[in-house]
């Protein structure tokens, strides 16, 4: 059971970095730092969008319109942090 918890925590950590990478990529794309017509850049952007959008879309539905600011990645990172800490501090000690 502990191995399952550790695997879930590792998957959450990997997804954490994917969300951060997607946020950084969106800033680079918005400020024309990366070339949007480059095929490789488009492939990376598409991959990050497909990995993060299913988790961010329900959060965006409940958030008010803040103009051009999207805080859904921050809320998702807080949720991931909560689940990770819950697993490590509440569930894992019960398993030991």
The pTM of this model reads 0.91
pLDDT of residue 96: 79
Rounded-to-integer distance, Cα 61 and Cα 42, Å: 26
Angle, helices 39-62 vs 72-86, to 10°: value is: 80
Average pLDDT value for the chain: 95
The region, left, alpha or beta by phi > 0 then psi within -120 to 50, assigned to residue 35 is: beta
- pLDDT bracket for residue 65 (50, 70, 90): confident
User: Do the beta carbons of residue 93 and residue 3 sit within 8 Å?
Assistant: no
Number of structural domains, the chain? Answer: 1
Q: How far is CA 45 from CA 31, 33, 51, in A?
A: 14, 13, 10
The full length of the chain comes to 96
Which residues constitute the domain of residue 13? 2-95
């Amino acid at each position: 059971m502990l191995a399952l918890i550790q695997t879930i925590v590792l998957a959450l950590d990997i997804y954490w970095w994917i969300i951060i990478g997607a946020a950084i990529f969106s800033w680079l794309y918005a400020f024309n730092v990366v070339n949007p017509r480059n095929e490789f850049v488009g492939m990376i952007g598409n991959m990050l969008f497909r990995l993060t959008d299913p988790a961010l879309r329900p959060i965006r539905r409940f958030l008010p319109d803040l103009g051009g600011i999207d805080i859904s990645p921050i809320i998702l990172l807080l949720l991931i942090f909560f689940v990770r800490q819950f697993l490590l501090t509440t569930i894992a000690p019960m398993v030991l």
